């Protein structure tokens, strides 16, 4: 069966994980002597730290890959203690995506997303990806980027949108 739409979702997730990886690498390079400390940096006190933002960004493509395999959601631990662990999380998530068997018929399914206090969402396949996974991915990716930008890492919009660089024309 064709997997054109699911392939485009996977490609999107992979390219945004590349952005996350680049942000992490730039931050680690900027804070060479104290690179593991960056995982505790926050944008503001009541927001989650950089390490948790990395895990939560990865949860979205991870759960997409698990859904493709017919498995339930399985979020990563929010406790990310080292830059090496953060890199492993990103790379393992990419590996899950690459191995996932894609089938556009998944988009016909209803996906149940359990929330707190017995609440849940019943979403069509496209709603699950476009209204749940992608907004959460971007929220946590932007938070991770913003934390490092606020801490002085020389990131720019080009770093955030690096997936468009190959499409530049003169």
Task: Give pLDDT, residue 36.
Answer: 92
What distances in angstroms separate CA 28 from CA 34, 140, 153, 157, 161, one per listed residue? Answer: 8, 18, 9, 19, 19
Helix then strand count (H, E) for the chain reads 6, 2
Place domain 4-167 in its CATH homologous superfamily: dinb family like domain (1.20.120.450)
Task: Give pLDDT, residue 40.
Answer: 97
Sign of the Cα torsion 145, 151, 153, 154 reads positive
| Helix residue ranges, H only, 69-133 | 83-99, 125-127
Task: Give pLDDT, residue 132.
Answer: 98
Q: Which residues contact 151 (CB under 8 A, 6 or more apart)?
A: 27, 31, 38, 41
Task: Give pLDDT, residue 2.
Answer: 64
Task: Give pLDDT, residue 50.
Answer: 98
Alpha carbon distance 21, 13 (integer Å)? 12
Task: Give pLDDT, residue 106.
Answer: 94
Closest CA to 57 of 98, 96, 86: 86
Alpha carbon distance 155, 22 (integer Å)? 10
Task: Give pLDDT, residue 83.
Answer: 97
Q: How confident is the model at residue 33 (pLDDT cuts 50, 70, 90)?
A: confident
Instruction: Look over the chain and give the mean of its residue pLDDT values, rounded to a whole number.
Output: 95
39, 86 in Cβ contact below 8 A? yes
**3-class secondary structure, 112:** strand
Alpha carbon distance 89, 52 (integer Å)? 11
- Domain boundaries along the sequence of the chain: 4-167
Say what the pTM is.
0.95
In the predicted model, is pLDDT for residue 72 greater than 80? yes
**3-class secondary structure, 55:** helix
Residue 169 CB neighbours (<10 A):
3
Q: 141: phi > 0 → left, psi -120 to 50 → alpha, else beta; which? A: alpha
């Amino acid at each position: 069966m064709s997997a054109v739409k699911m392939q485009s979702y996977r490609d999107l997730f992979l390219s945004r994980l590349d952005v996350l990886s680049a942000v992490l690498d730039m931050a680690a390079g900027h804070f060479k002597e104290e690179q593991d400390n960056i995982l505790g940096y926050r944008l503001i006190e009541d927001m989650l730290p950089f390490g948790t933002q990395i895990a939560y960004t990865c949860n979205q493509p991870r759960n997409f890959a698990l859904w493709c395999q017919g498995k339930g959601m399985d979020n990563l631990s929010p406790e990310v203690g080292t830059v090496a662990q953060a890199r492993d999380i990103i790379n393992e998530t990419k590996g899950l995506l690459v191995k996932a068997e894609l089938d556009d018929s998944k988009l016909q399914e209803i996906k149940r997303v359990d929330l707190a206090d017995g609440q849940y969402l019943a979403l069509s396949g496209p709603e699950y990806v476009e209204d749940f996974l992608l907004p959460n991915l971007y929220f946590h990716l932007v938070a991770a980027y913003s934390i490092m930008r606020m801490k002085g890492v020389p990131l720019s919009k080009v770093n955030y949108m690096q997936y468009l660089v190959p499409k530049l024309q003169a």
